Chain A
């Protein structure tokens, strides 16, 4: 992963808290998320970020296990957000509301337990490398990491609604 990828953010503060410094005490290696599990299993790396849905792969559970969780390192977060500049919203608000309406409809469809089988099939096709993990997450565990409201759940990010 790139050194500045969001999933790397917890590593820095957590390692620093334990006196570990990048380039002095450890080396960061960039790799695509789908390959990280194998790199850990083959002992090419000692630590990987457990990012959904890859972290749900049963073979990941057989690894030594989590050293720390993101919340412990940097607190409550909203890792992936959509942000738009106000002038763009002011100019295109009607289209943006239409877009969000479509987004809310599809998110609710994906989160509806009645659609989990179809959702898992779609997700598995879209993410072939992680298809098994995605199917497990969506179908068997009923897990999709986003709220049906498409609004942040972190109290730090809730903001205003005016």
Chain B
């Protein structure tokens, strides 16, 4: 889809660039 939209030519694996540890660390504080 990213290629279809014209932003990049190849495919992008978003999961390789996502790190939610910061959010989960914050969530752990308020549980």
Contacts and interface: CB of A to CB of B under 8 A. Distances in A.
Band of interface residues on B: 10 to 19
A89 B22 contact: yes
A65 B30 CA distance: 42
Contact of B15 (A74, A149, A150, A159): A159
Interface string B11-31: 000111111111111110110
A74 B23 CA distance: 27
B1 interface: yes
A160 B1 contact: no
B19 A162 contact: yes
A151 interface: yes
Interface of A: 9, 12-13, 74-75, 89, 93, 96-101, 103-105, 149-152, 156-162
Interface of B: 1, 4-5, 14-27, 29-30
